[in-house]
Amino acid sequence: MPMMLTYAFSPEYMIHNLTISEIRVAFKHAFRKWASVIPVNFTETDDYGFADIKIGFYNGDHGDGEPFDGVLGILAHSFSPESGRFHLDAAETWAVDFQKEKSTVAIDLESVATHEIGHLLGLGHSSVKEAVMYPSLMPRDQKLELTMDDIEGVQALYGSNPNFRFSSMLESDISTNNSVGNRVQKIRTNIGALQVQIGNKEVVTKPKSIGVLIMTAL
Ligand SMILES: [Zn+2]
Ligand SMILES: [Zn+2]
Counting ligands in written order, the one closest to the CA of 112 is 2
Mean pLDDT of 16-29: 97
88: CA distance to ligand 1 center in Å? Answer: 7
179: CA distance to ligand 1 center in Å? Answer: 38
The catalytic residues are 116
User: Taking a C-beta distance cutoff of 8 angstroms, is the pair 109, 23 a contact?
Assistant: yes
Cα separation, 33 vs 43, whole angstroms: 13
Residue with the bigger pLDDT between 137 and 180: it is: 137
Cα separation, 172 vs 195, whole angstroms: 30
Cα separation, 213 vs 35, whole angstroms: 27
* Helix, strand or coil, per DSSP, at residue 56: strand
Residue 108, amino acid: D
113: CA distance to ligand 1 center in Å? Answer: 14
Looking from the CA of 4 toward its CB, the CA atoms found within 13 Å total 6
Q: How confident is residue 74, by pLDDT bands cut at 50, 70 and 90? A: confident
59: CA distance to ligand 1 center in Å? Answer: 9
Cα separation, 54 vs 47, whole angstroms: 10
Residue 47 annotated in ligand binding: no
Residue 155, amino acid: Q
Residue with the bigger pLDDT between 1 and 45: it is: 45
Q: What is the pLDDT of residues 148-185, one digit of tens each?
A: 999 999 999 999 999 998 765 654 444 444 344 333 33
Cα separation, 32 vs 124, whole angstroms: 19
Residue 60 annotated in ligand binding: no
Environment of ion ligand 1 (residues, CB < 5 A): 64, 66, 87
End-to-end CA distance of the chain: 35
Counting ligands in written order, the one closest to the CA of 10 is 1
Angle, CA of 78, 81 and 87, to the nearest 5°: 25
Cα separation, 30 vs 44, whole angstroms: 12
Residue 29 annotated in ligand binding: no
Residue 20 phi, psi dihedral angles, 5° rounding: -60, -35
Residue 97 annotated in ligand binding: no
Length of the chain as a residue count: 218
Q: What is the tally of helices (H) and strands (E) in the chain?
A: 5, 9
Cα separation, 7 vs 32, whole angstroms: 12
Mean pLDDT of 114-124: 92
* Helix, strand or coil, per DSSP, at residue 10: coil
Of 11-20, 29-38, 134-143, the one with minimum mean pLDDT is 134-143
